[in-house]
Structure 1
Amino acid sequence: MRRFMLSLLFVTTTASAQTDPVISVDTLKSVTKELSSDAYEGRAPTTPAEDKTVAYIVERFKAAGLKPGNPHGDKGASWFQDVPMVEITGEHVAPLSFAGGKTPISLAYRTDMVAGTYRVVPRIELKDSPVVFVGYGINAPEKGWNDYAGIDVKGKTVVILVNDPDWQTTALTGPFEGRAMTYYGRWTYKYEEAARQGAAAAIIVHDTEPAAYPWAVVQSSWTGPQLELDEAGDHKDQSQVIGWIQRPAAEKLFASAGQDFAALSAAAKTKGFKAVPLDVKMSTSFDNRIKRQMSKNVIGVLPGTKAPQDYVMYTAHWDHLGRCDPVDGDDICNGALDNASGVAGLVALAEAQAKAGPAKRSIAFMAVTAEESGLLGSRYYAEHPIYPLARTVGGVNMDVLNVGGRAKDFVLTGAGKSEIEDLVKSFVLAEERTIGMEEHPEAGGYYRSDHFSFAKLGVPMLDGGSGSDLVKGGTVAGEAARADYVAHRYHKPQDEYDPNWDWSGAVADLNIYYGLGRKLADDTTLWPNWYKTAEFRNLRDKSRAGAQ
């Protein structure tokens, strides 16, 4: 979901005894508690809370023993990488109005729909744009699948289904990997493709199961200030309007157009589906308040002794939603688990690696900005790297630590992609845990967090952690904890620090991250690649060929 890139790996972890390193539980508690306190106002980028947040992270990085990680700062070595941002706040948002059907349809902002834009312009006004249902909005030549075949959508409004056509299958095989979401199922792809096709507006139909989150997440994440990278061209190559509508609203719209939403949705699952003009026209308008400002990635490093030009990366995003829809008068989305806990893990790993002494390769620790806005901080770093991607060995991304107790399994998100998965297995087995299957592959977790920004440019990063098979309570307890978090705390003010959390699972996962990072940093022969079937293999091969 826009402003929703959570890898839902929070509920568990391992059962092994700690030896070396010693991950500090006090650090995990203190950093999470501090960053998620009301004093940080939900850690929204480009707000006064950002200055307070990044200053605290630098303080903890210094105390851990790191050195400033950006050698190219304006005044010499710096803890920061500037990330140019533009904030767009929609105001006076008109309803999505549809005319020409059996009855006029007017969808209210926030309750029925949300709408915004990537374009950095003071006003959006779209009038009488013809509406076309394009199924899942996928154009995948390698799969022989094109939902836009035979129709010109330039200047039109496209209505799109969320996820992939085969998301309801139980197996992990099919034209779009069955139950597992591919990138074609992500909302980001659907807007990208609609823009490539020239659509004036792209509207996704929200449905809780295939989206993997309720409408409340859409409502809180897509309203208020929205961030984008501040780039040349002001994103004018994008559609004028992007947004979501609730499924009941879509059903009403289709019925007014004389169409059956359920029947067309079923038809869209089959290869050869043809887009369907709905013979209605959509209008909307809104103003945009625009603010340009730098945000910051925070980066520290432990320089290597033998191959300091090679880098192992640990990443976690520091941002959250700031102020959001109030619950019982509380409008601060504190983001304790998402992702103050991940930053706490970053600091704890920095302490442990520094205490162990320098490795042969350099180890970098980066807290990135604007993950909740679409992986913007990590994307900017990957496109403007401080350390050449060809010399970046790989690493670990942390998005939400487990505070629900130890688990028997360790789940690899998006398994089957890179040799990082082979390297981590020995550390999992050393803790007497098993590699588990991803419980909810339909959620597309692999494409929702910052490791994906690196993957898209060829660098393999681990995204994995505790599964739902808890030591205490098994999968029943684990699944119940996950469901409770998504329903009641995820992207809500209730994601607050709890002194009663059980950090044993987080420590167990961090032991694995430590071991993997240390192995990558001390064995200078290792250059993990993607499996030959992975979509990122050619990028890594070309990058590494140039580095030899």
Structure 2
Amino acid sequence: MTKTRLIAALCAPTLLAACATMAPTPAEPEISQATLKDVTRTLASDAFEGRGPGTPGEEKSVAYIIERFKAAGLQPGNKGQWTQDVPTVIIEAQNESPLTVKAAGQTLNFAYATDYVAGSYRVAPKTVLADAPLVFVGYGVNAPELGWNDYAGIDMKGKIAVILINDPDFEMNDESGPFKGRRMTYYGRWRYKFEEAARQGAAGALIVHETFPAAYGWQVVQSSWTGKQKYVASANDGMDQTIANGWMQKPVAEAIMKAAGQDFAALSAAAKQKGFKPVPLGATASLSFDNAIERATSRNVVGIQPGKTRPDEYVLYSAHWDHLGRCKPDASGDDICNGAVDNATGVAGLVAIAEANRKAGPAARSQVYLAVTLEESGLLGSEFYAANPIYPLARTVGGVNMDALKPGSAARDVTVVGGDKSDLSDVLAGVASAMSMAVVQEEHPERGYYYRSDHFSMAKRGVPMFYVARGTDWIVGGTEAGRAAEKAYTDVDYHQPSDEFNEAWDWSGPAQDVTLYYRLGRALASGTAWPNWYANDEFRLIRDKSRAGAK
């Protein structure tokens, strides 16, 4: 972005109020490194047993977060209460059958786990799909803003959708395609594909796995989709979802297509073109499994700083408090996954921002602090809040999510996850410029990281959300040090007992992160602008509809 464009964007009439708050002033409160250290040290201690939901560690975590929210001057955020119950259902498939396909007089059988996996969002003791017709629906996308509908002209009732992973233009090397090319959109994510199949009335959905477009191998699918699966409990017990959904290996899909007289490669190529129509395969599939069902309740923690002049407009700060609890022991026998970086640091950021906002005084808009549960189980705490918001999403201006603030040096750059999607880009550009930080894009846009943290639960319902992180061009050590630290955390400590608090950590980097988050949120809370997604973004129509209702 050129300097001229940046100034014009930031000082347009809709963003003038935010403009005034972007440049740092001598009176602007500093983010407390002591707070970041203290909160992280406490939440990551062995006494909290890895903060597993439904364990004594949850009780200690929730109590401690409430204590720190109170001390930071927050008020209870849920009608006088500090917590929001998050009811969950846990479903484990058992006694799984093979996937049996009948096509052109042939019967093909594919083994559970090695060839295919499946589960159900429906809370029912048994799941059965019997001789359901298979329909190839390309990428399973229905994007009215792009004039794209892979389900055009077909009634999916009683049928199983066979779906390709990622977006139709994922093989591009740039972002010029209708679905942003190499950068994955939500239409490319498996979760969207199951949601859309359900909206289309399909009885089932099977995604064809390929490693590059999925961004992970079959072993990840296999481990993620077997065993106990946690979901947000719904009033109708998931009966508006497909009967079964799952994945199959690419060779399985090729064998099914061949038996049905179709060519997988040819159909896949056709699915990349606008105007593609679904293809009934002339084959049927059957599968079944029993479901072991448990129910549980966890809690989000919610605090608020009421706005001074527009208290019915809200800015949201979020971070997940949960981690894995007790886990596989390491070589020393340590079986507590403490989650110091992931995500005691994010909760510490919430507390530090609340303290800074108390020192700065009330903003025009209310500021909501949401410490969510069950992120590690599939963003369930944020999903429940977004589906059952305490503060209307149509009146929520935008927000900032904090997840895993890495110890180490401050940086010269800030990484944007998800790309240039909304008017928030201009707000970020102004704040980053004031902090002498360059704005850079993530290195692997094809992996869809924007859709894998708690901000996404709000974004997919239309609320513009920042998801940015300190870059790897560190002031101390440059990109060599920044990338080495990132690799060491990912390869060694991520989701392991070694993700522990270390008194020797350099907190200048996390303090820079939280300063950035504070300024981004404060700009939104002090302004009058209502940022929106760009015209062709997948969330624009949702936001427009939501805001029209609010007006």
8 Å CA contact 2:316–2:399 kept in 1: the answer is: yes
Determine the structure 1 residue equivalent to 2:32.
24
Whether 1:200 and 2:203 are equivalent positions in the alignment is yes
How many angstroms does 1:39 deviate by? 5.1
Residue 337 of structure 1 aligns with an amino acid whose one-letter code is V
Instruction: Tell me the equivalent position of 1:3.
Output: none
Residue 60, structure 1, aligned to residue 68, structure 2: yes
Corresponding position of 1:169:
172
Deviation at 1:473, TM superposition (A): 6.0
RMSD between aligned residues = 3.6
2:454 to 434, 450, 456: 450
Q: Equivalent residue of 2:124, what SS?
A: coil
Report Cα offsets for 1:287-310 as digits up to 9, x if no partner.
222233333221112234444443
CA distance in 1, matches of 2:350, 2:394: 23
1:342–1:223 CA distance, 2 compared to 1 (3 A): farther
Unaligned runs of at least 5 residues, structure 1 = 1-15
SS at match of 1:78: coil
How many residues get paired? 525
**Higher mean C-alpha displacement, 474-483 vs 233-242:** 474-483
Q: Trace 1:100-115 onto structure 2 (pairs within 5 A).
A: 104-109=108-113, 111-115=114-118
Match of 2:191 in 1: 188
**1:264-301 alpha-carbon deviations (Å, 9 max, x no partner):** 43443233445455555433322222233333221112
Note the 1:312-331 alignment, pairs <5 A: 312-322=315-325
- TM-score (structure 1 length as normaliser): 0.83
Deviation at 1:422, TM superposition (A): 1.6
Distance (whole Å) between structure 1 residues aligned to residue 223 and residue 209 of structure 2: 14
| Counterpart Cα distance in 1 of 2:222 and 2:337 | 14
Q: How far apart are residue 122 of structure 1 and its match? A: 1.1
The range that moved more, 235-244 or 141-150, is 141-150
Q: Which one has more relative contact order, counting CA pairs under 8 Å at least 6 apart?
A: 1
> What does the per-residue CA deviation read over 1:100-158, in whole Å, with 9 as the maximum and x for residues that have no partner?
5878443232x544321110111112333343433212233443433334555433333
In structure 2, the CA distance between the partners of 1:531 and 1:104, relative to structure 1 (3 Å rule), is closer
Q: Does 1:244 align with 2:247?
A: yes
Percent identity at matched positions?
A: 60
Decide whether aligned partners of structure 1 residues 528 and 64 sit closer, same or farther in structure 2, where only a CA change above 3 A counts.
Answer: same
The answer to whether the 8 Å contact 2:418/2:445 transfers is yes
CA drift of 1:365 comes to 0.9
Question: 1:530 deviation in Å?
Answer: 4.0
Distance in 2 of aligned mates of 1:400 and 1:332: 18
1:253 to 1:545, Cα distance in 2 relative to 1, 3 A: closer
State the distance in 1 between where 2:132 and 2:549 align: 48
1:7-406 map, 5 Å:
20-36=28-44, 40=48, 42-70=50-78, 72=79, 77-98=80-101, 104-109=108-113, 111-149=114-152, 151-247=154-250, 250=253, 261-277=264-280, 281-322=284-325, 334-403=338-407, 405-406=409-410
Evaluate the alpha carbon distance shift between residue 205 and residue 390 of structure 1 in structure 2; reply closer, same or farther with a 3 A threshold: closer
Determine the C-alpha separation between the residues in 1 that align with 2:457 and 2:465.
10
Give yes or no for contact 1:131–1:277 (8 Å, CA) kept in 2: yes
Aligned partners of 2:222, 2:497: CA distance in 1, in Å? 16
Task: Report the CA distance between 1:534 and its aligned residue.
Answer: 4.5
Asked if the contact 1:488–1:494 (Cα under 8 Å) also holds between the matched residues in 2, the reply is no
Structure 2 residue runs of 5 or longer lacking an equivalent are 1-23
Q: Is the contact between residue 314 and residue 365 of structure 1 (CA under 8 Å) also seen in structure 2? A: yes
What is the one-letter code of the residue matched to 1:184? Y
For residues 269 and 336 of structure 2, what CA distance do their matches in structure 1 show? 40
Question: Matches of 1:190 and 1:489 in 2, distance apart?
Answer: 32
In structure 1, the residue matched to 2:418 is: 414
2:471 paired residue among 467, 471, 480: 467
Corresponding letter in the other structure for 1:54: V
1:513-524 equivalent positions in 2, closer than 5 A: 513-523=517-527
